[in-house]
Structure 1
Amino acid sequence: MLQTNRKLNQLFLAAVFLVLVETLSNPNVEAKTVNNFQQLTTSSVIAATPAWQEFSSSEGKFSVLFPNGKVEEVSPPENSNSSGVKSLKMHAVNGDKNAFIVGYADFGIDVSQAPPGELIDAFLEGMLENESKLLSQKNIQFEEYPGKEVKVKDEKNGTIYNTRFFLIGHKIYFMMVGSIETPEVSDTQKFFNSFHLIK
């Protein structure tokens, strides 16, 4: 039974990652540029520093720092939705060399009986099923929640994804910095370390 649950969870988590990759590479992805941040009913953006801006989502209950740029609310292609994903929310800033993405996915399946570490490992396994090569990984802890920080290379297009993901209840939160070159370590870490949960 445990192995069956593991496979189902792995397939679900792999689907989430595939949606993320398709969102970055698919020209048909729907992206709404937010020029007037007051237009967002559940999110807001305020100035943090001249080079970075704070983005907060009241719906997702988190805040994060983005590099200055147009924040886009990204919707995945319609045919990419997995039956295991109850909802998927993403926001991104695309720069000249890097794309910064933050978001979360709600599980559409019951994962309460599965050990958190097993789900985290399954997510990583799912990432590597899509012609991707694992360059590095390490276990991380966000507050009391388990997660991983990984670097993965998409062998099809050469894109390198620095990714953090962690499991909080029935949500998996993720942050990605994607680039055809190695992203600046300082920018990546600033983005990753700026993530906070809000009430």
Structure 2
Amino acid sequence: MQAAIKDIWAAYGGFSKLFAILTAAVVLLSWLLRVMAIPFGEFVTRVVETYRGIVHPVMDQLFGWLPWTLSDWWRDAIAIYFVVGGAVARTLWVFYAEHKAGESSEHYGPAVIGRFQNRAMQVLAVVLSAPLWPLSLLAMLAAPYVMRNPNTKNVFAGNWSRYRAWRERPHYQYICNLRTVFILQLVAVFAVSIAAILSRV
């Protein structure tokens, strides 16, 4: 039960995470409105239209070099891709936030994306994990269990077998399961979108 509470807090704790989840839900609503022609209430429709008015022109600037013009469907599809990437990036930051840069001499994390001591490199890894989220997600899912040794301040991310070994050391502290954190964030995005559809506000 205590582990579940820590996972929930890691996924939803803090204003920035809740704001990002709400923003992702708006992107998903825009895509659903276009693909499935679902009728929304006036408030939700205005929110979606505001999102399109802000994000779609930005995408036109970013992808203006292409020999063709992006349709609204593709604009929303690209946004959905980055919604998932945002969830991956926030999940990776949960891992880095537990590791204070410079505190420990060792830092074990997901391969490639996790093994950075320097805070600037950690931030860069998080930023790059959004567009490269398939690679980042595979690395995190391979080593989702995050633990801390309070004596050395080391933070570890490992697979199930390592997690079982760490649990046998009473002084090790469970931080979160990155797999669960990622799933909880996506569930929240879909839940908010479905609630908006059903409410007809």
TM-score between the two structures when normalised by the length of structure 1: 0.25
Higher RCO, 1 vs 2 (CA within 8 Å, ≥6 residues apart): 2
Task: Answer 1 or 2: which has greater helix percent.
Answer: 2
Task: Answer 1 or 2: which has greater strand percent.
Answer: 1
TM-score between the two structures when normalised by the length of structure 2: 0.25
